[in-house]
Structure 1
Amino acid sequence: MTHLGLLDIIQLLGYMCMGIQMVLNSNFGLIPDKILGAFLYATWLGVIEMMLLLAVNRFIALTNVHISKKNSGRLFIALFIIAYGFMLVNLVILLLPEYGFLLNMTTYDLERLALETHLIDMQTNILFGILAISWALYLITIVHMIIKLVKDYEIRIFFQSLFICGYKSFVNGFTTYWVPPSVLAYYISFFVYLIESGYNPYMYFFTN
């Protein structure tokens, strides 16, 4: 979280410079705009990398992955080195001649080689790839937590009673206020209503 916060602060300083440009209604010049644009975009990608590291941290902590504290520390040191190394490489590329993202008052202006090599597309794909991995880890962690919860008998009964209440509410509203517009819809409606009285044995089987 500390690393994420530091990168957020650097980004905030960049956006403050963008705000100053808007107040002055003028850019700072080629070199300052190039440096500011490079730092803003590199830290943007760095923030996403830190989000992935947070996802890995929560995944390890909550899914009981068998890894010792010592090895966990080594793993995160390696991940931090990779993340900052990748961010540094990205920063250097953005500072190369004709490869920059020039900070403008409200957006970025891409230099010639950045446009020709589709640099923004490549980096966007990397960014969404990192986010996809983060979401996958979070979803696995959530499923694991739910499985741990439903192992408890009282929790299983809670979900059973919650489902019964929800299904009863749905069926009563469904059969009272919905008029089937076709024969097929009528059969579906009747089927939903018919199985209402018989789902308790199935619920008991699945939750007990």
Structure 2
Amino acid sequence: MDDSDAGAGQAGQAAPSRRKDARRNQKALLDAAAAVFVASGVDAPVRDIAAEAGVGLGTIYRHFPTRADLIIGVYRHQVDACADAGPALLATSPSPHSALGQWIDLFVDFLVTKHGLAAVLQADRTGFEALHAYFLDRLVPVCTELLEAATAAGEIRSDIDAYQLMRGVGNLCVGADSDPRYDARRMVELLIAGLRRPQH
């Protein structure tokens, strides 16, 4: 093998490593942006996000050229995290009903921390509809899996549809951030407790 072959091999090994680093950097950026958006809303200065992530402004703009790109990135990132949590909770929780309750808690976190998303994306109806479709495609199957596990364990009634449950939880969360007297999480807790099968 000559030097050019060795160089090509090293370059080939470096490329996946660079891609892995880029993915890790992007995840750190999205985590930082999500934290800043929750604390300050989607109009927070990009420099605050850069400071939270420990990177320069140029790095953010390289990944996300516009604020809308960044908001969409955060939204998809949070949907993915919520989707990935379902199977993990099923594997580690004491019961499927407990896993369902913890997952719904994460879902509520997601719903009440999307500050200003709809307003920012209103002008792009097609883009917003695509995001909503992504949300349903990723999360409805996870909720279905959790419900089926709890039903199979005899913990909850069997006539519950994942989409309807998620829609109901969403409706309970409407306005939660604008009325200090309303505790959406408590209402959702009561809803999930109400899924229990009656004990005879």
TM-score by length of 1: 0.31
When normalised by structure 2's length, the TM-score is: 0.32
Q: Name whichever structure is richer in helix by fraction.
A: 1
